[in-house]
């Protein structure tokens, strides 16, 4: 199993794990990324996938327990129930889920434009209710679930909604971000890579 912890900035780190149910033909890389951010006195984990019990991930979270667990996308429920049960975190996410991937935890709904505790803000990615990326103002970072993928640099993940997604993603350039985190592929990219992704053909495995 791939297992990596990476510090990115003050109060911002990621962990990367092999997805336990991954299989050839899944349509996305085996290793996925989860994010932890401290902002405005809150500690949030985003699309958290549980690490092995002896992992550094848990020692870090135990030291600064997450006050929020956020699901960015209906099929990124992952281990939100475990985080909430272990730390008593508030939970946030979309109001719509896939029938086979519904959390037991009652999530507080977020929509594009919602502001979460700590000043985190949900964004619009142009793909309807597929995802609410987050803006982390203290770290000047955007965090995406599946709107973009770190493959051959940074690319927009192909979607039937590409004609809406591309201009919506372009509008996010109005935010003063310096870093982009994505769940799949190479996780961390700079603003220039994001700008290039808007002009490249979408990623279609």
Phi-psi region of 73 (alpha: psi -120 to 50; beta: other; left: phi over 0): beta
Element (H, E) at 144: none
Q: What is the mean pLDDT of residues 177-186?
A: 97
How distant, in Å, are the alpha carbons of 73, 98, 165, 171 from that of 130? Answer: 6, 11, 11, 18
> What length is written for the chain?
205
C-alpha 117/C-alpha 94 separation (Å) is 16
Tens digit of pLDDT for each residue in 62-74? 999 999 999 998 8
Mean pLDDT, rounded, of the chain: 91
Please indicate, yes or no, if residue 204 is contained in any of the structural domains: no
Of 56-65, 103-112, 162-171, 183-192, which gets the smallest average pLDDT?
A: 103-112
C-alpha 152/C-alpha 167 separation (Å) is 21
User: Do 116 and 70 touch, CB atoms closer than 8 A?
Assistant: yes
3-state percent breakdown (helix, strand, coil) of the chain, nearest 5: 20, 30, 50
Please indicate, yes or no, if residue 205 is contained in any of the structural domains: no
Q: Pairing mode, if any, of strands 148-149 and 155-156?
A: antiparallel
What confidence score (pLDDT) does residue 23 get?
Answer: 65
Tens digit of pLDDT for each residue in 77-132? 788 999 999 999 999 998 777 666 778 888 899 999 999 999 999 999 998 777 89
Element (H, E) at 57: helix 56-63
Concatenating the DSSP letter of every residue in 144-155 gives -SSSEEBSSSSE
What confidence score (pLDDT) does residue 1 get?
Answer: 55
Q: Report pTM.
A: 0.94
Phi-psi region of 136 (alpha: psi -120 to 50; beta: other; left: phi over 0): beta
Query: What CATH number did the domain enclosing 134 receive?
Result: 3.60.15.10
Please indicate, yes or no, if residue 100 is contained in any of the structural domains: yes
- Domain interval for residue 67: 3-199
Please indicate, yes or no, if residue 84 is contained in any of the structural domains: yes
Element (H, E) at 91: strand 90-93
C-alpha 124/C-alpha 86 separation (Å) is 31
Of 32-46, 97-111, 145-159, which gets the smallest average pLDDT?
A: 97-111
What confidence score (pLDDT) does residue 114 get?
Answer: 94
What's the token pair of residue 159? 């979607």
Please indicate, yes or no, if residue 27 is contained in any of the structural domains: yes
The total of structural domains in the chain comes to 1
Please give the backbone phi and psi of residue 193, each rounded to the nearest 5 degrees, phi first: -65, -40
What confidence score (pLDDT) does residue 11 get?
Answer: 97
* Band of pLDDT at residue 183, cut at 50, 70 and 90: very high
């Amino acid at each position: 199993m791939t297992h990596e912890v990476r510090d990115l900035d003050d109060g911002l780190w990621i962990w990367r794990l092999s997805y336990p149910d991954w299989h050839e033909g899944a349509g996305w890389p085996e290793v996925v990324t989860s994010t932890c951010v401290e902002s405005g006195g809150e500690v949030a984990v985003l699309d958290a996938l549980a690490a092995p019990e002896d992992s550094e991930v848990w020692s870090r979270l135990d030291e600064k327990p997450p006050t929020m667990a956020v699901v960015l996308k209906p099929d990124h429920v992952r281990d939100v129930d475990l985080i909430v049960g272990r730390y008593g975190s508030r939970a946030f996410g979309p109001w719509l889920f896939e029938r086979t991937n519904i959390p037991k935890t009652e999530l507080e709904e977020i929509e594009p434009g919602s502001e979460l505790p700590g000043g985190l803000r949900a964004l619009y990615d142009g793909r309807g209710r597929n995802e609410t990326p987050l803006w982390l103002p203290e770290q000047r970072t955007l965090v995406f679930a599946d709107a973009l993928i770190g493959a051959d640099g940074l690319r927009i993940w192909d979607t039937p909604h590409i004609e809406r997604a591309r201009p919506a993603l372009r509008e996010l350039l109005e935010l003063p971000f310096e870093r982009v985190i994505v769940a799949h592929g190479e996780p961390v990219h700079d603003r220039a890579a994001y700008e290039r992704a808007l002009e490249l053909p979408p990623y279609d495995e």
